[in-house]
A and B are shown apart, each in its own frame.
Chain A
């Protein structure tokens, strides 16, 4: 081999070496100069995690600042995941100590809702002595630690449960709906009631800790901490004293009904549930909203058990979770006569002086003659609209119903119904509580629509004279919520303004300063001139004050002179069930600041069951107002009555 080829071959080798080094240099240039900015971001994502800790929720207060929903500090046993594994013997020791199931603890440990950078709560609300035991025997409990957590508490138990609502762990649907609000899996969110409506105010700003972690997820150090900010307090318009009064009186009324005999069936009333609403007609504030049966919202904190939740939803228990005040749908019975009377006077169908002879029954002339009677066959003689309201003459209003239908060419097919709707019946009231029902005011167009949408449930699309007669006295397919009924009478009492009722009053910061007020919201104004209002007002006063009035007996002994009350009884047929007992009142009669509506399911006449409940509530309010002597309230009495 010559020296020359050797040189050449070495030169080739050198070229290969140079080209390989050039390739490395080029790649290094690309990665570190050209692509560096994007990779820097990735390196950051790799090593930095954010750990969120929920802030305590704001409190819920009544209108006088009394606490309805609070936070309390609870003791929790937590496990550090890097030390405690599913097969660690320490887990069995914890299960023994707490009397818990080992599998439950394993499930919690594996639960992905808990950030892997935070200790997992194995048990919440642990007794202090058990926490102390763990601390004293720490060698036996490696990776287990006691911590203080804050959680929701409703100090008054079941009181105002339906208004306050419940909180629970956010679910997938809520998480999707709140995508942009920074919610994370495992967080607490309002599920019902004011807790849901005012979620955005009550929820605080979570603590955000920025941590540096290594490739195995072990925390190296904290890079920063944004402390938690407790949520705002929400003050409700609810007056806790009136709320308690309403709930107690309602429960007494139902209890009493269950111990009374239904003359129609000869059996005791079932009285499975009811509702009582106290509304301020001057601005739509809800002062009390009771629904019976009820539940304890404390049961939902940290997750209600499946068994207990099933119990609460069992039909045999009459759905205690439902807020009957806004979800219960009832025929209004004679309380609906407000709408019929307004319609008749407004359209000039009658004057206040026109009378009709109430012989105890009325024969509908029309497609097929049909005779209907007053409740209990009462004969009231010649009555005008005022007297018809006072004595609750069905015959008088049957007559109005017939005449409206006969004059439908002039007033339209739904003259009464339109007035009822203008007073807020049969539609959402827009109350600031979730899951409100809309109800229905029955009319020919609506019936046809129902039939079209669901022919099986509504087989008859036709509308007869008798249907308008039924509408006129509040029977038949018309259904309203107790709150709608209260709102309709509030509208009458305040002279024609329909407010959207509201339970919220103001949002306060941590120092009690008002951040935002929940103002009265006018839905519409309806014309109620004195020519219409006065004759009806006289009739509603008569219900309570006139010896012939249907609720005269229920208000016997009530300080009516000091605290005048007007109202209307109602008894709604709900075949095959027993009658719904309805009463709605307002006081002081000529300058009303309170509307009280009470509905008891399957409890008989409005005068017998609902009116005494409302009376007791009004008695309590009168005492609170200082217009009547403050004395221990008597229990609800059942009284005889005619409607």
Chain B
């Protein structure tokens, strides 16, 4: 068979094309999928809450209760209804059963009123972790305040230390319990139970270490606040449209 320079180059080019397609195909199908290992160092979790979106339906409270088997009468998250009288004075704050069934049909009141969902603020510099005498509560490397049930003595120091009232003593285990930002969910790539079930998107789980997370734009474009900023706990739950009367 005779072959001139042009034929050689054409065949060579075709072979090269086939080989490259084959290689890509193998990369797509044949290559082992990377094991889905959760790297704690790559995340820094928090939450943004938009007061202007909260409708006080209590879906978050029910979701949290179901997901984490929170005992009756105790809450890892709850919703408060604020009624703020004009010109100062103490606001009236109600939260019937933590708003697990929403709020009862309200009497029409002629004052400023709104809902405030609350949960553990997952402070980076948390007072609750500093007082634990046995190292049973701590901030994880990805920024979630957790409790080690096996090591908790039930001394309640942390319950008193939390400025936000987010901790309780579990009546059965007699160890401290609190919001763990659904750590079992977020480490699997899911969102928290409360954020999953918020019908208006008022609560959103955010990852500050993810450069693509919408939180960066959100914080840039909105005037946000944290609860009790003066306590310098470095709370990671940011509230948008938070009224000054909220404590």
Q: Do A and B come from one complex?
A: no
